[in-house]
Structure 1
């Protein structure tokens, strides 16, 4: 099962401060989470990220699992070159009901990393081989990305934003999920909204949606 984790304002700990850790940091940077990196000898790029206050860096060697109790992370990523340490971190995290991932052992991890296609910071498409072959996931991503970029229009992106606004408004006035769903489907085919969208009149679309929600029966 593929699940999109919402990491906003949550704490993520990365153990290790080399190139593998840097890859994980880059994937997390846009997620709005607090990133704590623990490693004895951080590479220069990780040090720079710390200096820019993008991460919290702890220059220390892991000698026990007490850091899990101290920081209580939502997710811990073990990316050291010591496989036995990575496994110890994963196993301890599981006992504490903390999500865990070992870079060198996806099979023992709670999550798998997807090869992500990001379309205009609105649509995310994930390609996964369930840890079997990250290289093939990247290859398939490169084949798929151009096709998606070509076929998903700017209007599709705007419709997503309109639907998000409509969902928020509908929750204020339409009591049941079934009725809200019907309303959102009807909105997608509404001629007034389509015409306003063609003309780029987004404020007018919001006003129309507010009226439609209040009049919904």
Structure 2
């Protein structure tokens, strides 16, 4: 089962600042969560992210998971163990789980609450996940590389812009159209609307938004009858 986890506004701790730790930090950036990175070594990427205020960086050499006691009252949502020490990762996972967090060990899927899929990320809007449920991250990555070439050909710029417009329209419609069913019909109507689709193809995105709001007014009147 692949789940797109909502971590917005939540606290995530990544322990380990090597290649795997950096990969996990990159995956969390832009998700709207508070990221704390604990590591005895700090590379340029982590330093830059800390300077930009995107992560909180704690430099510490660890031999156990006691440092997590500092965050026991912080409602930590995720604890990701990404050190190069398997036993330390297990201690981190056990401690994180005792705190009520979802836990993940980069080198030990059996003790993790979830596995990471190999992601094809297209403009930060569409993500396609390929997973072996932790059986073989290497094969997931290999297949993802092949699939990415195909997906980048078939997912067009108009698809990306339509996804963005759907988000805009959904937020605008929520307080104005009464029922979930009617809102869903409204959103489908945007995809079928020739005027809006032509504006998207012509890269006239603001005009497409204006046309969407015009259409929403008609649906709102219909919804209030």
Shorter-chain TM range is 0.7 to 0.9
Secondary structure at the residue paired with 1:166? helix
Secondary structure at the residue paired with 2:72? helix
The residue number in structure 2 matching 1:28 is: 28
Cα deviation 1:163-203 (Å, max 9, x = unaligned)? 12221222121110011111111221112223333433333
Q: Which stretch of structure 1 is more off in the superposition, 175-184 or 57-66?
A: 57-66
Q: Which stretch of structure 1 is more off in the superposition, 46-55 or 166-175?
A: 46-55
Q: Is the 8 A contact 2:76 2:100 kept in 1?
A: no
Correspondences of 1:164-183 after superposition (within 5 Å): 164-183=167-186
Task: State the Cα distance separating 1:32 from its structure 2 match.
Answer: 3.7
Cα deviation 1:57-94 (Å, max 9, x = unaligned)? 22224442413415442211112233233222222322
Q: Distance in 2 between matches of 1:142 and 1:20?
A: 18
The residue number in structure 1 matching 2:78 is: 75
Q: Which stretch of structure 1 is more off in the superposition, 71-80 or 150-159?
A: 71-80
Closer, same or farther: CA 177–84 of 1 in aligned 2, 3 Å: same
Q: Say yes or no: does 1:38 pair with 2:38.
A: yes
Q: Distance in 2 between matches of 1:51 and 1:190?
A: 45
How many residue pairs match? The answer is 216
Q: Distance in 2 between matches of 1:184 and 1:121?
A: 21
TM-score using structure 2 length: 0.84
Q: Is the 8 A contact 2:82 2:107 kept in 1?
A: yes
Task: State the Cα distance separating 1:103 from its structure 2 match.
Answer: 1.2
5+ residue gaps, structure 2: none
Q: Which runs of 4+ in 1 moved over 4 A?
A: none
Q: Say yes or no: does 1:206 pair with 2:209.
A: yes
Secondary structure at the residue paired with 1:4? coil
TM-score using structure 1 length: 0.87
5+ residue gaps, structure 1: none
The residue number in structure 2 matching 1:158 is: 161
- RMSD of aligned residue pairs (Cα, Å): 2.3
Q: Which stretch of structure 1 is more off in the superposition, 130-139 or 190-199?
A: 190-199
Q: Is the 8 A contact 1:76 1:99 kept in 2?
A: yes
Closer, same or farther: CA 184–48 of 1 in aligned 2, 3 Å: closer
The residue number in structure 2 matching 1:19 is: 19
Cα deviation 1:26-45 (Å, max 9, x = unaligned)? 33334343322223x31544
Q: Which stretch of structure 1 is more off in the superposition, 84-93 or 154-163?
A: 84-93
Closer, same or farther: CA 60–134 of 1 in aligned 2, 3 Å: same
